[in-house]
Structure 1
Amino acid sequence: MKTAVLGGGISGLSAGYYILRRFGKPFTIYEASPRVGGWIRSEWHKNQGFFFESGPRTIRPKGLPGANTLELVEELQLPIKPIPSSHASARNRMLYAKNQICMLPNSPKGLVSVVPPFSKPLYRALIHDLTTADSVVAKNQDESIYSFVQRRFGKEIADYAISPMICGICAGDAREISVRFLMESIFEHEQKYGGVLKGLLYSRFNDKYNALKDKIQVESNLYKRACKEKWAMYSLEDGLEQLPRSLRKYLTERNVNVQLNSKCHNLRFNGADKAVMSFKNTDVPVSHVVSSLPAYQLAQLTKAQHPSLSAQLLSIPYVDVVVVNLQYDNDQLLKHNGFGLLVPPVENLPVLGIIFDSCCFDMAGNTVITVMMGGHWFDKWFGQQPPPSQKELRDVAQQQVRRILGIMEDPKFSRVHTLHKCIPQYTVGHKRRVQGIREYIKSYKLPLSLCGAAYDGVGINDVILSARNQVDNLLEI
């Protein structure tokens, strides 16, 4: 069986890795751009001792997805930059709310005192869950994560805890994002036991819970080390882009063809074991296609032959994000140590959050921060015509840095990236939407597998595990 992978982002490269590992046969990965890695991009300034990340910068080692990624990192022999749970960037998470920087509670003590921006002790939210009536949502139905949290824990928790967290994870609006995106097990606990805390307690004696714990047995030595040393997260020497670059090197050394600047224009199928990919100058027949493309791109490729599938793929929305990296020569500018801060949407600011890169990693005497803007609210702040220039976007970011962090001086160096349609949004009904897409593929016997951020989670661990699971489902090549 001749297979092909569409997309050279981290999910497509991972799919290639697992195809090679399972079947041991050369194949081809097609990437439309001149580089691999997708939204993962690291920019080193070694003479000055700092680097910028315009996409993800850290990976969490937790659970089966984390163990799976560490197994891959170990195979590639990549040097790790771990951040233990005792580190300030792991312990300290902040909000900018009500015109001040608020440190979120990181110990049980924070549950019994009033911590800004909350007006009541957080234990009151737990009592609210215990005393709230059973779910009003019909079984197996979905709702927004905002609605769920407001019902169970109150409006303040929804506004100042969950909404900014969703901004940080997917740049989305918690009022639209499915509760199953982040809290599926908690949602199911409520459905089954009538409350979140009740469900968490009962689940400890539930066979399915114990079975899930037992599932994490394929532990790499690196995963064991991460557990022993209590890593909260980690990155890689020379930036996270070393992961896709090393994956490409690993694959090409084993006769896998990674073709850059190779944009697929059409994808058609003829039975259960034949697909034809159309490129600029040629048609390429294959037996199976693993697509890691964004859903909207795959929709265009399948529209002519399968308009219904295309429409379902297009029903997964995406958002644009502006990323502004700023570097200052002075390393004493940040008044707080931590990973960074998030800005709740109720503050009505263009900023989603600010990451304190130089608190996470050694930046050789520099202050380095990354400002994230737009997301679900991109059109509101930056949707004018003509679109804002890089200078105008940088000016907005610096204005917010002055307002929030009190950093009045201009940066010595900066980068501005507008990432168009970079993060899929798991809006209410997303799980059923993805099931419908995969059921369509199965019912029409299309030689097509889907992996990547549009379907099984938006994090690096998620898309790598998505690739592995889809390859595991392939028939013998």
Structure 2
Amino acid sequence: MTTAVLGGGISGLSAGYYLLRRFGKPATIYEASPRVGGWIRTECHKNKGFLFEGGPRTIRPHGLAGANTLQLVEELKLSIKPISRSHVAARNRMLYAKGKVCLLPNSALGMIGTIEPFTKPLYRALLNDLATKVTVAKDGDESIYSFAERRFGKEIADYAISPMICGICAGDAHEISVRFLMDSLFEKEQKYGGVLKGLFYSRFQDKDEKNSIGIFAQKQPSLYTQACREKWAMYGLEGGLEQLPRALRKYLAKNNINVHLNSRCQNVSFNNDGAYLTMRHAELPVEHVISSLPAYQLALIVKAQHPSLAAKLLDIPYVDVVVINLQYNNDKMLQYSGFGLLVPPVEKLPVLGIIFDSCCFDMSGSTVLTVMMGGRWFSKWFSNQPSQNELREMAQRYVAKILNINEEPKFSRVHTLPKCIPQYTVGHKRRVENIRKYISNYKLPLSICGAAFDGVGINDVILSARRQIDLLPVR
């Protein structure tokens, strides 16, 4: 019997990759859709010199998770497009707040003066953190908004932290768990009595970052060494990020890891010998199941045998996001240069943010933008199920309002991504622990990896897959 991987997104493909590396045994990946890659989707217009990303477009190289992805990219021999910390896309981050585009400070000097949309110098927020006593969080967790407001004040929570959470998981900072998404800051506050104190003392006492490459058997990946030496802030891939799942699939196929598309698993039942997968035309015995499915999809296929596990999985909510790509035949459309801008929820707009793709990477004379809308507020703005044309018109209207671009785009794409991002609501860390405890207590031949359990970024889900494979016993 073989191992089955459910889901052909980046986490499932990575699970197949690490299964092959660790055990050298055949495995099979089952993907319900007609393509691999999940929400990573690149539309390349080579003849026009630009591309659209329907999902993420850059990866950060930092820390253990970043080094792990760079090792994977290196082994797959993919071509990288690095963005250094000095690049305008790394330096300039913006907000649209109080009716204007506001450039966030990118140096210590920016903390001294008063910069819109803030009404007082940002150093005062740091003083507030130094003066504020530690509050023991109820049940060991609290919302990121509550944490930020308590440590740094309401303006920081509204205009710095809340829009950042929109950019990370399209979520509401009033609901997202600080214990899960910003655990290191929370731990520093609890341990040292404040965030700044924790950051200062941990530089001398915490060795985690220095030991971040401990997962590697011999030496750190050469791309990681290069990224540190050249001070990369982030990087993309030649031909777009979809090159990563495509390369993984090609590599797996060469090494007898089969990827079956249009193959939805309808049910999983477990027994002493392994598990049975119920597919459309067959019931397949397998030794072990690795699920990279969204939590709600996994819940549906284990519910018949394990309703309690299904209920725990369904406690993880998801949000819908609209992504609109716009291309203009003019590279002088933007008045501002940077990675893009975020829109704080207090502005009460349907837009989460706008990414300036053509500032990040050369688009051969084009201006390319990606508008993100909806998220936690999707039903509020789009409950009437607008058409693609209506969504495109809405995106263009806000591009005109925010960026003063009134020209019709030459090319555009509209993607509505249903239930695409899990929400790490308060208590999420314990929620995931309880799910994994249930699997362990019942000795189910099941491993879970992916965004719902270990973090939303590409680095997180790849490392999630690696760690779950490393936990499997050698037989």
Segments ≥4 residues shifted beyond 6 Å: none
Q: Is the 8 A contact 2:166 2:172 kept in 1?
A: yes
* Distance across 1 between alignment mates of 2:183 and 2:337: 32
Q: Is the 8 A contact 1:98 1:347 kept in 2?
A: yes
**CA shift for structure 1 position 196:** 1.1
Aligned equivalent of 1:213 = 210
Q: Is the 8 A contact 2:171 2:375 kept in 1?
A: yes
One-letter code of the match for 1:52?
Answer: F
Percent identity reads 72
Aligned equivalent of 2:234 = 233
Aligned equivalent of 1:78 = 78
* Distance across 2 between alignment mates of 1:197 and 1:233: 25
* Distance across 1 between alignment mates of 2:346 and 2:103: 18
Please identify, of 8-17 and 191-200, the stretch whose mean Cα deviation from structure 2 is larger: 191-200
Aligned equivalent of 1:418 = 416
5+ long unaligned stretches in structure 1: none
Equivalences for 1:147-296 in 2 at 5 Å?
147-206=146-205, 209-217=206-214, 218=216, 219-271=220-272, 273-296=273-296
Aligned equivalent of 1:475 = 473
- 2:210 match: secondary structure: helix
- 2:453 match: secondary structure: coil
Aligned equivalent of 2:325 = 325
1:419-468 deviations in Å (ceiling 9; x for gaps):
00000000000000000000000000000000000000000000000000
Aligned equivalent of 2:123 = 123
Aligned equivalent of 2:445 = 447
One-letter code of the match for 2:17?
Answer: Y
* Distance across 2 between alignment mates of 1:465 and 1:330: 39
Aligned equivalent of 2:4 = 4
* Distance across 2 between alignment mates of 1:230 and 1:103: 22
**CA shift for structure 1 position 25:** 1.0
* Distance across 2 between alignment mates of 1:425 and 1:15: 23
- 2:176 match: secondary structure: coil
Please say if 1:95 is aligned against 2:95.
yes
What RMSD, in angstroms, separates the aligned Cα atoms of the two structures? 1.0
Aligned equivalent of 2:427 = 429
Pairing partner for 1:392 from 390, 393, 401: 390
* Distance across 2 between alignment mates of 1:30 and 1:6: 5
- 1:323 match: secondary structure: strand
- 1:327 match: secondary structure: strand
* Distance across 2 between alignment mates of 1:270 and 1:77: 40
1:211–1:412 distance in 2 versus 1, CA, 3 Å: closer
Aligned equivalent of 1:46 = 46
Aligned equivalent of 1:143 = 142
* Distance across 2 between alignment mates of 1:438 and 1:225: 37
**CA shift for structure 1 position 88:** 0.3
Q: Is the 8 A contact 2:181 2:424 kept in 1?
A: no
Q: Is the 8 A contact 2:136 2:190 kept in 1?
A: no
1:353-389 deviations in Å (ceiling 9; x for gaps):
00000000110000000000000000000012xx110
One-letter code of the match for 2:226?
Answer: R
1:267-292 deviations in Å (ceiling 9; x for gaps):
01012x41000000000100100000
* Distance across 1 between alignment mates of 2:180 and 2:58: 20
Q: Is the 8 A contact 2:319 2:418 kept in 1?
A: yes
1:445–1:141 distance in 2 versus 1, CA, 3 Å: same
Please identify, of 331-340 and 197-206, the stretch whose mean Cα deviation from structure 2 is larger: 197-206
**CA shift for structure 1 position 136:** 4.0
- 1:119 match: secondary structure: coil
Number of residues of Structure 1 aligned to a counterpart in Structure 2: 471
Q: Is the 8 A contact 1:135 1:190 kept in 2?
A: no
Aligned equivalent of 2:454 = 456
Please identify, of 209-218 and 421-430, the stretch whose mean Cα deviation from structure 2 is larger: 209-218
* Distance across 1 between alignment mates of 2:96 and 2:466: 38
* Distance across 2 between alignment mates of 1:62 and 1:212: 9
Q: Is the 8 A contact 1:135 1:194 kept in 2?
A: no
* Distance across 1 between alignment mates of 2:209 and 2:39: 31
**CA shift for structure 1 position 476:** 1.4
* Distance across 1 between alignment mates of 2:37 and 2:383: 27
- 2:61 match: secondary structure: coil
5+ long unaligned stretches in structure 2: none
Please identify, of 194-203 and 390-399, the stretch whose mean Cα deviation from structure 2 is larger: 194-203
* Distance across 2 between alignment mates of 1:422 and 1:226: 30
TM-score, length-scaled by structure 1? 0.97
1:345–1:211 distance in 2 versus 1, CA, 3 Å: closer
Aligned equivalent of 1:406 = 404
- 2:276 match: secondary structure: strand
1:102-146 deviations in Å (ceiling 9; x for gaps):
0000011001110110011110000001111221424x6100000
**CA shift for structure 1 position 212:** 4.4
Q: Is the 8 A contact 2:83 2:233 kept in 1?
A: yes
1:42-96 deviations in Å (ceiling 9; x for gaps):
0011111110000000000000000000000000000001111110001000000
* Distance across 1 between alignment mates of 2:308 and 2:70: 38
Please identify, of 177-186 and 321-330, the stretch whose mean Cα deviation from structure 2 is larger: 177-186
Q: Is the 8 A contact 2:40 2:55 kept in 1?
A: yes
- 1:439 match: secondary structure: helix
**CA shift for structure 1 position 216:** 2.1
